[in-house]
Amino acid sequence: MRTIPFNKPSVGQRELDYVAECLRGNKHSGDGPFTKRCHEAFRTMGLGHALLTTSCTDALEMTALLLDIGPGDEVILPSFTFVSSANAFVLRGAMLRFADSGVDDPNISPDAIEALITPRTKAIVVVHYAGVACDMDRIGDIARRHGIAIVEDAAQAIDSYHRGRPLGTIGDLGALSFHDTKNISAGEGGLLLVRDEAMQQRAEIIREKGTNRSAFFRGEVDKYGWVDIGSSFLPSDVLAAYLLAQLERLDEIQARRRAIWTRYDRALSTQVGACGVRTARLPEWATNNAHMFYLVCADLEQRQRLIDGLRTAGISAASHYLSLHSSPYFHRFHDGRSLPNSDHYTDTIVRLPLFADMTEAQADRVAEEVLGILTA
């Protein structure tokens, strides 16, 4: 019996050719020719002012620097998310205020956000879970009324939209991931999106160790020096070469991922309800980028039985986040509020294998095993 992995990066000949071309050249460090070509590709995709980073985590850390987050500031974010969403702001001394997920989907609840706003609230961080847009109309209205910045953690959201607008471009700042578990990959990598023109030059400076080196190489200043705080957030041009090939294959990769997602949906969405399990909800304002196909089980016991059964069948499936408000690090700082929806998703979500090189036969086998385990 052949095993089916949870994820497998799709690497074609173009990736190998571009990496070899980069290595044959004289520029392997950051902001080389392949990085510039990636930035142009992002502009063509409608992402605006984009800067490649070494990871989405680094892009999020840059958002905290750009917003001058510091001690005494409060940041509202979902509890059901990856730790990078929180660490970026904890590192600047902010107090985290965790908001609950919605009843129908794991994204942050706008009602929960509104209830947490205080005069110290500096930013709202939204996470587009599974690449499905949060309710950005309501969240944007809340932020405008209170004069609060929005940071979009769009790590899973390449090629996904809210009412026709690319995710990551709706808030003040956005961050995307190109980790090898994402739809397109650089192995490791991220992207910072800066909507506010006033922040764009500072973003370049922070990314370049706090120097105006980028302006120097454009001939805008005679010499460069240390002008702000910052760090080294630039990825190697070798990684940009890998990513450029993935960007040029985006339509191909996405077509395959959507075909597998649709095959799962047709096989499972009308069947699992009888077992108390449901599939993902797609709100009318959002698109589906096929980042993830997940099931919401009835309880923790059913979820574990499904994961264990799939593992026995040679299929790698996975749960997801431990809610951050109850994490080993943060629980002692949490204000004690109950976050029932977040806790529910912690206990019940199971993610099925999904990758561009997955075959229809593999997807069918996964779906058959899922139904067999749930109905046993």
DSSP string covering 229-278: ---B-PPPHHHHHHHHHHHHTHHHHHHHHHHHHHHHHHHHTTTGGGGT-E
What's the token pair of residue 90?
Answer: 């904890």
What's the token pair of residue 286?
Answer: 């959002």
- Kindly report the length of the chain: 376
φ and ψ at 216, to 5 degrees? -60, -45
Q: What integer pLDDT is reported at residue 1 of this predicted model?
A: 65
φ and ψ at 367, to 5 degrees? -60, -40
**Four-way CATH pick for 250-375: 1.20.1090.10, 3.90.1150.10, 3.40.50.300, 3.40.50.150:** 3.90.1150.10
Determine the Cα–Cα distance for residues 276 and 299; give it in Å rounded to an integer: 9
Strand order in the sheet with 349-351: 278-279, 294-296, 349-351
* Coil vs helix vs strand at 50: strand
Determine the Cα–Cα distance for residues 139 and 333; give it in Å rounded to an integer: 25
| Residue 81, number of CB atoms within 10 A of its CB | 25
Q: What integer pLDDT is reported at residue 226 of this predicted model?
A: 86
DSSP assigned state of 209 = T
**Per-residue pLDDT tens listing for the chain (376 residues):** 689 999 999 999 999 999 999 999 999 999 999 999 999 999 999 999 999 999 999 999 999 999 999 999 999 999 999 999 999 999 999 999 999 999 999 999 999 999 999 999 999 999 999 999 999 999 999 999 999 999 999 999 999 999 999 999 999 999 999 999 999 999 999 999 999 988 999 999 999 999 887 766 666 776 788 889 999 999 999 999 999 999 999 999 999 999 999 999 999 999 999 999 999 999 999 999 999 999 999 999 999 999 999 999 999 999 999 999 999 999 888 999 999 999 999 999 999 999 999 999 999 999 999 999 999 9
* Angle at 173 (CA atoms; ends 7, 331), nearest 5 degrees: 65
Q: Decide if 315 contacts 309 (C-beta within 8 A).
A: no
Domain boundaries, the chain: 13-248, 250-375
Determine the Cα–Cα distance for residues 140 and 149; give it in Å rounded to an integer: 9
Please classify residue 45 by burial: count the beta carbons closer than 10 Å to its beta carbon, then call 0-12 exposed, 13-18 middle and 19+ buried: middle
Q: Decide if 189 contacts 239 (C-beta within 8 A).
A: yes
CA atoms within 13 A on the CB side of 135: 18
| Residue 214, number of CB atoms within 10 A of its CB | 19
Determine the Cα–Cα distance for residues 231 and 148; give it in Å rounded to an integer: 25
pTM, two decimals, is 0.96
Determine the Cα–Cα distance for residues 238 and 76; give it in Å rounded to an integer: 36
Question: What is 13-248's CATH topology?
Answer: Aspartate Aminotransferase; domain 2 (3.40.640)
Q: What is the amino acid identity at position 23?
A: L
Determine the Cα–Cα distance for residues 14 and 172; give it in Å rounded to an integer: 34
Q: Decide if 350 contacts 292 (C-beta within 8 A).
A: no
* Coil vs helix vs strand at 201: helix
Question: Residue 336 region, left (φ>0) first, then alpha (ψ -120 to 50), else beta?
Answer: left
CA distances 311 to 275, 308, 369, 373, Å, are 20, 5, 10, 11
How many helices and strands (H and E) does the chain possess? Answer: 13, 12
